[in-house]
Structure 1
Amino acid sequence: MAATIRLPKHDVLQALRSSVYPRVGGSGSTCCRCPLGAKRYLLTDNIVKLKEFQHKKVAIAYHLPGTKGALEVLIEMKSQDVKFNKDTYVLAFAICYKLNSPESLKICTTLREEALIKGEVLSRRASCFAVALALNQNQVAKAISIFSQIMKQENIVCTNLNILIHIQANMLKTLIEVLKDAAEGNLSKFVRRREFSEEVLAKAREKVKDVPALLARFDEIYGKLHINGQVTTYTLDTLLCHTPGNRKSHMMLLNRRTVSHRTFQPLNQSLWAE
């Protein structure tokens, strides 16, 4: 069964190359398609250097304004049959997400299907980039399919992707129920409450604003989320691309709360005072 849907390596390389070199075909020497100074020397038999390069590339890729350089390296790795590891897939999907085009979605889908056929387990982070890209390209069904295969969906990125899926799929009543459950659910003090991006909540409000009953319920829940400290000013893009150096810095990101522009106090305190 798997053999009938296997994607030839040539097709993967062709899709990658065409996104970087749109005027170059699939034939001819690989060297001819590499820009002057391309880092071919990194792809040697020295595995230690390759792993070090991969780790550094993953760490800095999200902070670079351009992503085609990193994509060129992935093309070279693919052409030399270098095995992709979990970090490499995260990098590849992050690059496709940043490029945000129909072509990059095709590349992401091709790489993902190839990985699954090989029985490789993709990390939650890689899958989140794939879901976000599909949503950005208005491919809601694809986003839902990928999201449903994420085993643990409790983190802040998955929480916000789930809201965006409900928004774009017009599942508005369920959307309100999800937010209500997050704001009013009886949780142990040892269980972290779900957190939402202000940006994502703004999109949710825009979606329900023409339905008075839903809008009233949303505004009520929105206020409770703020009081509970479940709203962050970080955008989904920032949450996706954040690479914590250690657990402490990661917790600092998640613990950040919105601040009242009027009182400059934590918003939950400001709301109670008012």
Structure 2
Amino acid sequence: MAAVSRRWNRMLLQTVRRSATRRVLLGFAPGCCRWAVGGKRYLLTDDVVKLQEFQQVKVAVSSRFHGKKETYFKDMEEKMKKKVLILKEELKTLLHLCETQDDMELTRSAIYRYHAENRNVCFGEFKFGPLFIRLCYELDLEQSAMELIKDQHLHGFFSDCTSFNILMNMLFIKGNYEGALEVLIEMKNQGVRFNTDTYILAFAICYKLNTADSFNICMTLLDEALFKEAVTRRAYGFAIALALKQILIHAHSGMLEGALQILEASAEKNPFSFVKKEQFSEEVLTTVKEKLEGQPALQARFREIWDKLRASGQVVTQTIDAMLCVVPQSRKLHILSFNKRQTSRRTLQPLSSSLTAE
């Protein structure tokens, strides 16, 4: 595991150098996230998944077609039999009326037909990918979503990162980490651009799998993300937690020496009292302690470090999972009404009610 050791040491060095990620080594910043309800683990914010917005539109469409749904579905079936062109608004309506597995069969057929007719649409056209994935999210049909997103006949239909991200998030919540990795690899193969959410999901999936292969995938993507400057503090946390797990699985003296060095650096007194110190999971420290059995010199150093960390309040009871797998807050800024501009900068006259509402 020499490669693991080299990459682990490199990650530690990068972490120390980056002030923005200085506390990422298994640290938890209160107030930046909220705990998952019912033990579920979420990685995307509500304003990315947009499930509630999707359901609100579904309610509106269902109300508009009250008592007419069967007729609409029969008309769509007839259009497909006669090979009549399916319009964008018709497919959107069909997706919002879909409520059951039987409904999904017709919806899938309509998607294949629509994509075949519109695979060369202009850039900027409405993207159905996220809409379909949200439907699968609502109906717990992640397998249907995986089948379609990997189908070469639909290549280009899921051309946005949002579709892949929501599906990976859904699989992650259900504990299907292998399936989530398949979706990540498919996304890469299709050449869909990764965004910061994608890297968080990728590192979290690799962290959960905790294998040598997932570690290598994580490190490769980390290099890519660093080059793009697309690594968030949270993504870095998953990558480092995975490296730490691997180092403790394949521990040898060189690796443990690196772990002790970072702990020693964190335990040193900082002359600036206003700088918040790193926090470490007691779970991790206990594991390190167990790995040091039979090495008296390293054990003595570790006991001294542990005592310093405890005395400074840097040891926390949360597990690594509890620190990392939390519900992130929405990125939307909630601007209070009294901060809104009430007059025009050009005319100095009061803005119209419609502009103020906007």
Q: Under a length normalisation based on structure 2, what TM-score does the superposition of the two structures give?
A: 0.43
Pairs within 5 Å for 1:217-232: 217-232=301-316
Pairs within 5 Å for 1:149-164: 149-151=224-226, 152=231, 154-155=233-234, 156-164=237-245
Distance 1:54 1:119, change over 3 A: closer
Distance between the aligned counterparts of 2:269 and 2:162, measured in 1?
35
- Could you say which residue in structure 2 is the equivalent of 1:193? 277
Distance between the aligned counterparts of 1:50 and 1:126, measured in 2?
18
8 Å contact kept, 1:183–1:221: yes
Matched residue SS, 2:202: helix
Q: Which amino acid aligns with 2:194?
A: E
* Structure 1 residue corresponding to 2:168, chosen from 92, 96, 120: 92
- Could you say which residue in structure 1 is the equivalent of 2:220? 145
Distance between the aligned counterparts of 1:95 and 1:162, measured in 2?
23
Distance between the aligned counterparts of 2:101 and 2:280, measured in 1?
45
Unaligned runs of 5+ in 2: 1-99, 115-124, 332-358
* Structure 2 residue corresponding to 1:125, chosen from 196, 200, 222: 200
Question: How many corresponding residue pairs?
Answer: 203
Distance between the aligned counterparts of 1:222 and 1:69, measured in 2?
47
> Do structure 1's residue 110 and structure 2's residue 185 form an aligned pair?
yes
Distance between the aligned counterparts of 2:165 and 2:307, measured in 1?
39
> Do structure 1's residue 167 and structure 2's residue 248 form an aligned pair?
yes
Q: Which has the higher relative contact order, 1 or 2, with Cα contacts under 8 A spaced 6 or more apart?
A: 2
Q: Which amino acid aligns with 2:200?
A: R
* Structure 2 residue corresponding to 1:234, chosen from 318, 329, 346: 318
Distance between the aligned counterparts of 2:103 and 2:204, measured in 1?
26
Q: Which amino acid aligns with 1:174?
A: G
How many angstroms does 1:223 deviate by? 2.9
* Between 139-148 and 39-48, the greater mean CA deviation after superposition: 39-48
Distance between the aligned counterparts of 1:238 and 1:131, measured in 2?
17
How many angstroms does 1:52 deviate by? 6.4
Q: Which amino acid aligns with 2:241?
A: N
> Do structure 1's residue 74 and structure 2's residue 158 form an aligned pair?
no
Partner deviation per Cα, 1:156-193 (whole Å, 9 max, x = no partner): 54553343243245311111112222222637445443
Matched residue SS, 1:120: coil
- Could you say which residue in structure 1 is the equivalent of 2:69? none
- Could you say which residue in structure 2 is the equivalent of 1:15? none
8 Å contact kept, 1:197–1:232: yes
Unaligned runs of 5+ in 1: 1-34, 61-67, 248-274
Q: Percent identity?
A: 20
Partner deviation per Cα, 1:203-253 (whole Å, 9 max, x = no partner): 222222232222222232223333333333333333343112358xxxxxx
How many angstroms does 1:202 deviate by? 2.6
Q: Which amino acid aligns with 2:245?
A: L
- Could you say which residue in structure 2 is the equivalent of 1:178? 262
* Between 167-176 and 185-194, the greater mean CA deviation after superposition: 185-194
Matched residue SS, 1:83: coil
Distance between the aligned counterparts of 1:208 and 1:38, measured in 2?
59
Report which of the two structures shows the higher radius of gyration computed on alpha carbons.
Answer: 2
Q: Under a length normalisation based on structure 1, what TM-score does the superposition of the two structures give?
A: 0.54
8 Å contact kept, 1:180–1:221: yes
Distance between the aligned counterparts of 2:196 and 2:317, measured in 1?
29
